[in-house]
Amino acid sequence: MNNRVAIIGVGINKFGELWDKNLMDIAYEAGMYAIWDAGISGADIDGMVIGNMSAGRFTGQEHLGALAVDMAGLGDIPAYSVEAACASGGAAVRQAYMAIKSGEHDLMVVLGCEKMSDVSQSEAMNTISVASDWEWEGTFGGTFPALYAFMARRHMHDYGTTEEHLALPVVKNHANAAHNPFAQFQSPVPLDVVMSSAMLAEPLRVLHSSPVTDGAAGLVVCREDLAKKYTDTPVIIEASDQRSDTLALHDRKSITTMSSVVTSTRCALKQANLELKDIDVLELHDSFSIGEIILTEDVGIAKKGEGGKALEEGITEIGGKFPVNTSGGLKARGHPVGATGVAQIVELVLQLRGDADKRQVDGAEKALAVNIGGTGATSIVHVLGR
């Protein structure tokens, strides 16, 4: 089937440490915002997909799809739960995209959610670490700060990337988040503060890392011909692609390139019949600042080794040639791991609709999101068009 898929509603709650809400509270809230935004009723919905990394470990609750349908009073519609580590949200969007494109479903709700603050910091770190190769990385202390520190140190060795380069994505993304009412952190952070923050895993510091976050984001997606019934401003998912790489860093040809991102970006742009120069705004997965630098290179904004230089030149700032992470990214908007991929799409829809307020990219018509799992073992890329 050649059904094109449209996004007709978006919803997100303020990310943070949401002590007074449980997992389903925040998921329900984001889903209802998306439904209200789309102007649909429960009777219009014929399926749901929910992305979540590890509710069983974080909150003790599994079987989230059925629970979400039950809480929302949506009857007996099918609900699918998907997991792809930190790319679980992107995987949920892709599953709904494929379901509608195939003709199996007509209109679906997509949710991404995670409640991470109900366990200790060390328990949260251990839970996230199972997205690495546990046998060869996790059991030897290879936490994600350590793994990304390997990538950062090698990038510095091979290309001359500096500590200041590592801090630049943080400064930019916190400045963007200052204009995002849904962001966990809404205050700018000066360069010297980032560079003097406590060491986490050398050369990465605390402020190079995304935080522990609770939050959820939602979408309403449907066939393009149905979208006209509900809105005059649908956003089309023009392409969706997913690729994989080795789970462990030591099995890769290079730990400074995420080959899954390179391939999925190239394939998604080809699918959409676009080139990178046609993209007006991007959301790139910056769980650590070195991640944004590497992804800036892997999607083609900068040549390999020149991601730090691109940041230095302001290419990825709002108003630059390729604005990246106008939402504040994972670093400042927050990173509730299962929700991140959906939250990226929410931001890009707001940009394409012209609803991003002070962080709006003028004239944005095409957008691209890269959501990764682990250190790039999964990459999911979506291209959106106004």
Beta partners for 380?
242, 371
- Report whether pLDDT(2) > 90: no
Task: Kindly report the average pLDDT of the chain as a whole number.
Answer: 96
Q: Number of C-alpha atoms within 13 angstroms, CB side, residue 286? A: 33
Q: What is the pLDDT of residues 255-311, one digit of tens each?
A: 999 999 999 999 999 999 999 999 999 999 999 999 999 999 999 999 999 999 999
Query: Are residues 180 and 186 in contact, defined by beta-carbon separation less than 8 angstroms?
Result: yes
**Crossing angle of the two packed helices 23-38 and 64-72, in degrees rounded to 10:** 60
Give tens-digit pLDDT for 45-98: 999 999 999 999 999 999 999 999 998 999 999 999 999 999 999 999 999 999
Q: In Å, how far are 24, 39, 51, 72, 108 from 78, measured between CA atoms?
A: 18, 21, 15, 13, 10
- β-pairing verdict for 366-373 and 281-284: parallel
d(CA 257, CA 253): 9
Q: Is 20 exposed, middle or buried (0-12, 13-18, 19+ CB in 10 A)?
A: exposed
Q: How confident is the model at residue 189 (pLDDT cuts 50, 70, 90)?
A: very high
Would you give the distance in Å from CA 270 to the centre of its chain? 21
Compute φ and ψ for 259, nearest 5 degrees.
-65, -30
Tokens for 259, please give them: 């080959």
Q: What are phi and psi of 380, to 5 degrees?
A: -125, 120
The share of the chain scoring above pLDDT 70, in percent, equals 99
User: What are the tens digits of pLDDT across the range 340-354?
Assistant: 999 999 999 999 999
C-alpha to C-alpha distance for 382 and 386, rounded to whole angstroms: 13
Alpha helices (H) in 110-162, listed in sequence order: 121-129, 144-159
Length of the chain as a residue count: 386
Q: Is 123 helix (H, G, I), strand (E, B) or coil?
A: helix
pLDDT digits (tens, 9 = 90+) for 213-263: 999 999 999 999 999 999 999 999 999 999 999 999 999 999 999 999 999
Q: Model's pTM, two decimal places? A: 0.97
Tell me which residues are annotated as active site.
86, 335
- φ and ψ at residue 112, rounded to 5 degrees: -130, 135
* β-strands 107-115, 47-51 pairing: parallel
Token digits of residue 1: 């089937």
To the nearest 10°, report the CA torsion of 311, 314, 316, 318: 150
> pLDDT tens, 97-126?
999 999 999 999 999 999 999 888 888 888
* φ, ψ dihedrals at 5, nearest 5°: -110, 130
For residue 139, what pLDDT is reported?
84
Domains, the chain: 5-120+213-235 (3.40.47.10), 125-210+239-332+354-385 (3.40.47.10)
- Tell how strand 378-385 and strand 366-373 pair up: antiparallel
Determine if residue 59 is left, alpha or beta; phi over 0 gives left, psi from -120 to 50 gives alpha, anything else beta: alpha
Find out whether the peptide bond into 203 is cis, omega within 30 degrees of 0.
yes
Give the pLDDT confidence score for residue 308 in this predicted structure. 97
Select the more confidently predicted residue: 4 or 134: 4
- Terminus-to-terminus CA distance in the chain, angstroms? 22
Indicate the SS3 state at residue 212. coil
Could you read off the pLDDT of 24-52 as tens digits, one per residue?
Answer: 999 999 999 999 999 999 999 999 999 99
